[in-house]
Homo-oligomer: A and B are copies of this chain.
Amino acid sequence: MVRAAVVNVTGYTGAELMRILSRHPEVKIVSATGRSDAGKRLRQVFPSLRDVDRDIVPAVEEDCDVVFLALPHHASAEAAPPFLQKGAKIIDLSADFRLRDLAVYEQWYGAHPLPALLAKAVFGLPELHRAEIETAQIIGNPGCYPTASILALAPALQAGVISPRVIIDAKSGISGAGRSLKLDSHFSEVDENVTAYGLDGHRHMPEIAQELTVAWERGGHPGAATLTFIPHLIPMTRGILATAYADLTADISVEQVRDIYTSFYADEPFVRVVETPPSTKQVWGSNYCFVYPLIDKRTNRLVVISVIDNLVKGAAGQAVQNMNLICGLPETMGLEALPYWP
């Protein structure tokens, strides 16, 4: 049994981790911590987790094999060292261990609390970094937008059939904005409403650029990927749909594009190249990513639609997938739940 701890269980990612881990056949949750809610029963914060039946504690006291950090950035990195010293693996759901270039991190998040740890960290997207994840000490679990965006474009970039100057127009449910109180999450303000946001630059952009460049470079192509990234909030709770646009640079048919995608994801347990345009609800509550590439012949552009559940494949589910990999468990264990429809 893997002894796991969840640090800061009281946000949506923490709750989702508890939901999944509580039913994982090879996990024993040794601790679930909170800050202001420490001392309460978990059910007082999340009645849906009533039967998990445990206390929220102020700190992890027990030894554990894996620690999930569901803290804000900076706090996350600062919390890591004691666990690492005791030999635990860290799966961090903040941005602290996602960016390989310290200068880029500092541009978007300010000074990094522990830059020395970056060398031990791997970007936790199994579809691009599976082998490194298996032996990593620290996983920087990807953001929700990056997961959907990178999976939409990595095959075409690696194959070199598109220009690396891409556009990603993403639509997210409100849960991506977290559980804290702000007018942008107030029901009456966001219901029956759609808005673009983060227009001065969203923090997920550099993470996407980094990994699109990884795919581009793996194909042996010179230079780096750049992107315009515009996220939108739409009136639903869960789900991200990313629509990616790129100019085709090869004379290529949609069948050939589909071959590139199906080959790239042939052995992936959670990515499906689908035959009809996907919608977010088709993957609701599951760890799947559905991807659908098409060609706009009039303008010779590749358009790719991808969908995920932002709290599962975009956060907690992917974190458990990473845990399975670093612990040598079957990659899909605990993540077999099919999507709910409707």
The answer to whether B194 touches A171, judged by C-beta atoms less than 8 angstroms apart, is: yes
The answer to whether A239 touches B305, judged by C-beta atoms less than 8 angstroms apart, is: no
The answer to whether A228 touches B301, judged by C-beta atoms less than 8 angstroms apart, is: yes
- Name the CB-closest residue of B to A198: B277
Q: Is A232 an interface residue (CB 8 A)?
A: yes
Chain B residues, Cβ within 8 Å of A230 = 243, 303
The answer to whether A199 touches B238, judged by C-beta atoms less than 8 angstroms apart, is: no
Q: Is A167 an interface residue (CB 8 A)?
A: yes
In whole angstroms, how far apart are the Cα atoms of A13 and B108 in the complex?
39
Chain B residues, Cβ within 8 Å of A109 = none
Q: Is A191 an interface residue (CB 8 A)?
A: yes
| Total A residues in contact with B, Cβ cutoff 8 Å | 81
The answer to whether B179 touches A181, judged by C-beta atoms less than 8 angstroms apart, is: no
Chain B residues, Cβ within 8 Å of A286 = 48
The answer to whether A191 touches B183, judged by C-beta atoms less than 8 angstroms apart, is: no
Q: Is A64 an interface residue (CB 8 A)?
A: no
Interface string of A239-266 (1 = CB under 8 A from B): 1010101000000000000000000000
Binding site for B on A (CB under 8 A): 12, 15-16, 19, 22-23, 46-52, 165, 167, 169, 171, 173-175, 179, 181-183, 185-197, 199, 201, 226-228, 230, 232, 234-239, 241, 243, 245, 272, 274, 276-286, 290, 294, 296, 298-299, 301, 303, 305, 336-342
